[in-house]
Amino acid sequence: MADGTNAVGNLAKKLEGKGILLSSDVDNLLLEGIDIDLISGKLVEKYPNPESVQIVDATVIRGIVEELKIDKAPVPLEIKAKAGFRPAAAEVEARYSIGNGKQQNDGLRTEGSVSDFVAYFRSRLDKIKPFISTHSAASGMSPNLEAIRSYTNGREVTICGIVSNKITTKNGNIMALIEDETADAKVIFMNATSEKARSLFGLAGEIINDEVIAVKGRISGPFVIANELIFPNVPLRDRKTIDEDLAIAFVSDIHVGSKRFMEKNFSKMVEWLNGNADIGPKGLAGKVKYMVIAGDVADGIGVYPGQDRDLSILDVYMQYKRLAELLEDIPDYIQVFALPGNHDAVQAAEPQPALGNDIMKDFKKDNIHFVPNPSYLTLHGIKVLAYHGTSLDSIISAVPGMSYAAPEKAMVETLKRRHLSPIYGGNIIVPSRNDTLVIDTIPDILHMGHLHKNGITNYHGVDVVNSGTWQARTDYQIKLGHMPTPCVMPVYDAKKGSYVNIDFNG
């Protein structure tokens, strides 16, 4: 691979004895990020006779670079269902619906002015405050923060607002500034020694900016001294199962177009769906009726500086074409829902719209559905909230005890906060007048990707599933010490109410 420092020298070496010489206008810049083996192969193809010396200039090289960008990757072999494969899921008619208005906020988009941000946060507070008010601990909540201004010292209050700042005071206490549309309030969490105070202080350490919280406490001068902290949270519920013998497969971060996309393993998964691979519990493949893909379906282009050198397919449309070829072999009776992630060819700001028509044109089959990020999907009565998970980075860095090794823990934090991306500015968010990233409907399954690491847990009855990746460990992940878990697909057996991780690494 050309690292740009001595790419010309490396290419010249590859061409030694082949009768091809490089002109002096071929420079390192021209070759930056281009696979030297690929380019020398193309040159030898073009000038096969080592006897006649050929001088190649920058124009010829530029032409080959362009050619490589649209180079057709070999078409994958067509996968056919195993003879005699009688999938149970083929006998059942699909029952699904997409969205509950989450993606229909185009008319509410704003320009990002100060008043738009105010409207955005007001929407967030208006939506989440009612969830908190249902907690018994939050009974008697003040209607707003202005109302407590006239209260006398020592009076007990319950207040709710958005956290605009959190600091540790010079006495070692935690002070959270919370706001609503009427006023703000300074809440103190004492760093005291009693067991109750220790536990409250620990909980206050988990407060993050821009989330909605409620606090029970006492007025003390300009402060409210907290004695209880209430997160919006989700109430306890039972895990959702169905009568039909069906299953849902969860996929994310395929990264088609990356040199590290593990295509053989992905194809093996498609083979498995066709009854051709003897992996996992017997009969499970034939139960799969739905597949949800939580973003980063392609690696994209220009996502980070120098990405070209990590790509096997340099043209973004070709990346999606390849994905279409791969998904084509998924049996027709399986309904596939794919949302975009931060690598995909749509706006980066969330909520992201579904992938556009220019990309969808290569997807000929009507069992593949492109949906926005995030999306609520109802699959045979099971509510799946699918979100790429871009916010997980900021949650991991802000909340104590979170790590890239346990993506499900960071996902649980979004349920506690009733918001998919609670920290504003950690990732790009459209400041709409309707905060559509609020988790207003509690899902049966919360599905994300982004961290390239599998993780499953159950929180208050909600299944929390991170479906890992199909991309091998990248240089970036090596640098950060992240260990991905590629090619492991979680499958929910919706009748049994259990998950199986199917490992396609073998």
What residues make contact with Fe ion under the rule CB under 5 A?
253, 296
| CB contact set of 332 (below 8 Å; sequence gap of 6+) | 365, 367
Of 395, 377, 378, the residue nearest 386 (C-alpha): 377
Provide the minimum distance between the beta carbon of 471 and Fe ion in the complex, in angstroms, as a whole number.
7
The least CB distance from residue 1 to Fe ion, in Å, is 21
Judged by CB, which is closer to Fe ion: 40, or 477? 477
Q: How many other CB atoms are found less than 10 A from the CB of residue 380? A: 18
Query: For residues 331 and 340, which CB has a smaller minimum distance to Fe ion in the complex?
Result: 340
Question: In whole angstroms, how close is the CB of 255 to Fe ion at the nearest point?
Answer: 6
Nearest to 213 by CA among 159, 292, 274: 159
Which of 173/467 has CB closer to Fe ion?
467
Q: Which structure tokens are listed for 142?
A: 């003040």
Strands 212-220, 156-168: parallel, antiparallel or unpaired by DSSP? Answer: antiparallel
For Fe ion, which is the closer residue by CB, 414 or 432?
414
Helix/strand number for the chain, H first, E second: 12, 19
**Comparison of 185 and 396: residue with beta carbon closer to Fe ion:** 396
What is the closest distance, in whole angstroms, from the C-beta atom of residue 145 to Fe ion in the complex?
40
The residue among 396 and 438 lying less far from Fe ion, judged by its C-beta, is: 396
If DSSP codes are grouped into helix, strand and coil, which group holds residue 173?
coil
User: Cα 220 to chain center, whole Å?
Assistant: 43
DSSP assignment string, 243-258: SS--EEEEE----BTB
- Would you say 7 or 249 has its CB closer to Fe ion? 249
* Buried-state track 138-169, b at ≥16 Cβ within 10 A, e below 16: beebbebbeebeeeeeeeebbbbbbbeebeee
| Element containing residue 118 per DSSP (H, E) | helix 114-133
Nearer residue to Fe ion within complex by CB, 297 or 402: 297
* Nearest to 469, CA basis, from 481, 480, 454: 454
Q: With respect to Fe ion, which residue has the nearer C-beta, 204 or 249?
A: 249
Q: How far is the CB of 294 from Fe ion (least distance, A)?
A: 10
In the complex, what is the shortest distance from the CB of residue 423 to Fe ion, in angstroms, rounded to a whole number? 19
Compare residues 296 and 444 and give the one whose CB is closer to Fe ion: 296
C-alpha dist (Å) from residue 282 to 36, 247, 277, 404, 496: 46, 13, 10, 32, 14
Q: Decide: 202 and 195 in contact? Cβ < 8 Å.
A: no
Q: 353 near 394, Cβ under 8 Å?
A: no
- Of 209 and 467, which CB lies nearer to Fe ion in the complex structure? 467
**Residue 100 CB, nearest approach to Fe ion (Å):** 26
Helix (H) or strand (E) holding 317: helix 316-327
Query: How many Å is the Cα radius of gyration of the chain?
Result: 27
Q: What are phi and psi of 90, to 5 degrees?
A: -70, -20
Q: Please state the closest distance from residue 427 (CB atom) to Fe ion, in A.
A: 13
Q: Record the tokens describing residue 293, joined without a space.
A: 């893909």
Question: Closer CB to Fe ion, residue 296 or residue 310?
Answer: 296
| Shortest CB 389 distance to Fe ion, Å | 9
As measured in angstroms, the least distance from the Cβ of 252 to Fe ion is: 7
Min dist CB 316 to Fe ion, Å, is 15
Structure tokens given for 180: 């609503």
Distance (Å, whole) CA 294 – CA 76: 23
- Residues forming a β-bridge with 294: 339
Distance (Å, whole) CA 262 – CA 270: 13
Q: How far is the CB of 343 from Fe ion (least distance, A)?
A: 6
